Amino acid sequence: MQPADNASLITPFYVMELLARAKALENQGRDIVHMEIGEPDFSAPEAVVEAGVRAMRAGQVKYTAAAGLPELRSALARYYGEHYGVDLPERRIFIAPGASGALLLALAASLNAGDEVLLADPGYPCYRNFVRLFGAEPVSVATRASDGHRLGWPQLRAAWSGRTAGAIVASPANPTGVVLDEPTLGELCEGVAGQGGFLVSDEIYHGLEYGPRCPTALQFGSQAFVINSFSKYFCMTGWRLGWLVAPDSHVETVERLAQNLFISAPTHSQYAAVAALADPQARAELEQRRLEFQRRRDYLQQALARLGFGLSAPPEGAFYVYADCSRFTQDSDAFARDLLEQAGVAITPGRDFGETAASRHVRFAYTTSLERLEEGVKRMERYLAGVSRDSAAPGF
């Protein structure tokens, strides 16, 4: 009995080893500054928690309709109207277990074996593995520091082949924090639609933007799949709740997939999410947190530049800084391990996000307090002074 061929191609998260080592060090009494974690340190606003508590205590935790609670779907439709000025029919909205579940639905509905799918390198590691699950092939499109790590239509068009079925893009992106502005996203949507391909627009970091509002792909027609989630901006990772907006051509297929694959998404989370969208107190709290993320970004960006990291693409959203560490090392894996051991700072090596420039990059997450970020920077400063003095250190 052998594992399946497609499943065997799926890669693990390399950062897991580093996480396990960080935990082991903590169990030995070491203090570790965590800058590797891809989830907000904040938890859901109180009004959201209490809506979840009410649903649970009222026994309102039965299966819901596969597409989600009607009141949540209509709250989301309203949200798109208010937030983006987009008129979105509820039938196109599917509540899913996280953006992860939404991605599974979109790709299951779209991919045939042998298809190629274009993805940014660096990018979110799960994309390529979802693609492999269906016997399709992820094709990396290396973004360049000189383009600000942007993946626009010119880059996609250059990579588009006869086997390309579609593309997945994210804005703000993980790991770069790069945002696609309206003209760039609009041109991209049009370009992909012109090829008759599918576009998955991952908008999970929307709301966590520190410049102009991020546009949604839905502003540029109704052909894209949009995935989003309550995990990041709404600080509800473990609630496992996200959504998919599907084009009308795929609504019926997605409905059948959702019924069969998930039955439904977590019910108390759905009730809580209604409050997350509608409660004014919760919305105000989330806005405060956005500002706090922005302060952290401003600090970390400057501090890393001062330490000698290269920041070719200034992060405009999400909660990551993707930094070039080639002044210190050509092996970002060894660098991250050593930084953990020597300085007690945990970061994610580039390898988890792609191949092209992975060994020269690391990702810093600002999902910890400003005080802890400052402590981490202080430790790195001391550590890097040592590295520079001793340039024969193993791995550098």
Ligand X SMILES: Cc1ncc(COP(=O)(O)O)c(C=O)c1O
Site for ligand X in 191-220 (CB under 6 A): 202, 204
Packed helices 280-307 and 267-278: angle between N→C axes, nearest 10 degrees: 90
Residue whose structure tokens are 């930084």: 339
CB of 2 to a second copy, least distance (A): 8
CB of 157 to ligand X, least distance (A): 23
CB of 189 to a second copy, least distance (A): 13
Given the complex with a second copy, which of 227 and 323 has the nearer CB atom? 227
Site string for a second copy, 205-234 (x = CB under 8 A): ------------------x-----------
CB of 385 to a second copy, least distance (A): 34
Q: Is 84 exposed, middle or buried (0-12, 13-18, 19+ CB in 10 A)?
A: middle
Please, which of residues 158-187 interact with ligand X by CB under 6 A?
170, 174
Q: Which of 114, 358, 323, 319 is nearest to 233 (CA)?
A: 319
Q: If binding is defined by CB under 8 A, does position 349 make contact with a second copy? A: no
CB of 237 to ligand X, least distance (A): 5
- Write the DSSP string, 242-282: EEEE--GGGHHHHHHHHHHHHSS--HHHHHHHHHHHH-HHH
Measured CA to CA, the distance from residue 66 to residue 265 in angstroms comes to 7
Only segment of 95-103, 211-219, 250-258, 302-310 that touches ligand X (CB under 6 A): 95-103
* Residues with Cβ within 8 Å of residue 261, at least 6 apart in sequence: 101, 104, 105, 108
Confirm if 235 and 46 have CB atoms less than 8 A apart: no
Binder of a second copy out of 80, 94, 220, 262 (CB under 8 A): 262
Q: If binding is defined by CB under 8 A, does position 263 make contact with a second copy? A: yes
Measured CA distances, 67 to 12, 200, 245, 326 (Å): 30, 19, 11, 47
- Angle value at C-alpha 339, between 338 and 345, nearest 5 degrees: 145
CB of 148 to a second copy, least distance (A): 28
Q: If binding is defined by CB under 6 A, does position 100 make contact with ligand X? A: yes
In the list ligand X, a second copy, none, the entry touching 266 (Cβ below 5 to 8 angstroms by class) is a second copy
Q: If binding is defined by CB under 6 A, does position 263 make contact with ligand X? A: yes
Binder of ligand X out of 40, 207, 215, 242 (CB under 6 A): 242
Which two tokens mark 279?
């409660």
CB of 26 to a second copy, least distance (A): 15
Site string for a second copy, 291-320 (x = CB under 8 A): ------------------------------
